[in-house]
Amino acid sequence: MKKILLLVLTIILTLPIMAQSKNFLDTPYLETSARVDTLVSPDKIYLSITIKEKDSKGRKSVEEQENKMAQSLKNLGIDIDKQLTIKDLASNYKKYFLRSKEVLKSKQYSLLVYDGLTAGKVMAALENIDIANTYLEKTEYSKMDELELTLKSRAVKKAKLKADALTKPLEQKVGMAIHIVDNSQPYYPRYNQPRMQMKAMSMEDAGAPEPLDIGFEQIKVESTVNVKFRLLTE
């Protein structure tokens, strides 16, 4: 008896779903897809900076180099409390051994700047105090969420225009959208692969007082949608 009741209940719950699927298949529709894209310049540029005792002239300590770096960044108008972080939060120092078994210290930081000109100034300033182990870590665009929503809207509008163009020669019209699929791929920050050493000349070596203005590759953002529109029969 329980099995019969369960079977009846299953049929009752399934019938509306089957009816909806049948109604959807019976509805005349037109399916279109559209893709839109744009290029934006990154406005969040992360530089990785490593200070090592072995890289310093006269065996300057990590602490001494760190203080000089902090002062140089402050001179450039950088808020080190907000823009400079230690990458390895688990341990303040990384240690490594040389053949002589002497333990030397190193420390790695991540510095956030907002444009290529500032990045060039940072590189030149660090080069001038003998800190040259710097590379571009990643780039981001701060308003990515808003941009992606804008592109999705543009893609849907483009799909509607395509649907209108396809039905116009047939003297038909499209109605409301009955099914929309967002096929866009999520955006992820762009990391440098492989790591590129950012070797900058000092101002004196460059032979000009102008700071280095580094151009970063623009970020391509795209959105793709698939839309089914109802075909009007009248």
Amino acid at 19: A
Indicate the pLDDT class of residue 12, thresholds 50, 70 and 90. low
Asked whether residue 9 carries a pLDDT value surpassing 50, the answer given is yes
Domain end residue (candidates: 140, 175, 198): 140
3-class secondary structure, 162 = helix
The answer to whether residue 21 scores a pLDDT higher than 60 is no
Q: 31 with 227: CB under 8 angstroms?
A: yes
Q: Is 12 buried (19+), middle (13-18) or exposed (0-12) by CB count in 10 A?
A: exposed
Is 82 contained in some domain? yes
In this prediction, residue 104 carries a pLDDT of 66
Q: How far apart are CA 100 and CA 33, in angstroms?
A: 65
Strand 134-140 to strand 103-113: parallel, antiparallel, or no bridges (unpaired)? unpaired
Average pLDDT over residues 55-80: 83
Residues 94 and 128 in one domain: yes
**DSSP structural state of residue 168:** G
Percent of the chain with pLDDT over 70: 68
Task: For residue 11, tell me if it sits in a domain.
Answer: no
Smallest CA-to-CA distance from 125 within 211, 213, 64 is with 211
In which domain, by residue range, is 89 found?
44-140
Give me the CATH number covering residue 146: 3.30.110.170
Residue 204 lies in a domain: no
What is the structure's pLDDT at 88?
Answer: 67
Q: Is the dihedral of CA 76, 79, 85, 86 positive or negative?
A: positive
pLDDT digits (tens, 9 = 90+) for 90-131: 445 555 555 555 566 788 899 999 998 899 899 889 988 888
Residues 126, 234, single domain; the answer is no
Lowest mean pLDDT among 30-34, 126-130, 172-176: 126-130
Query: Are 122 and 70 found together in one domain?
Result: yes
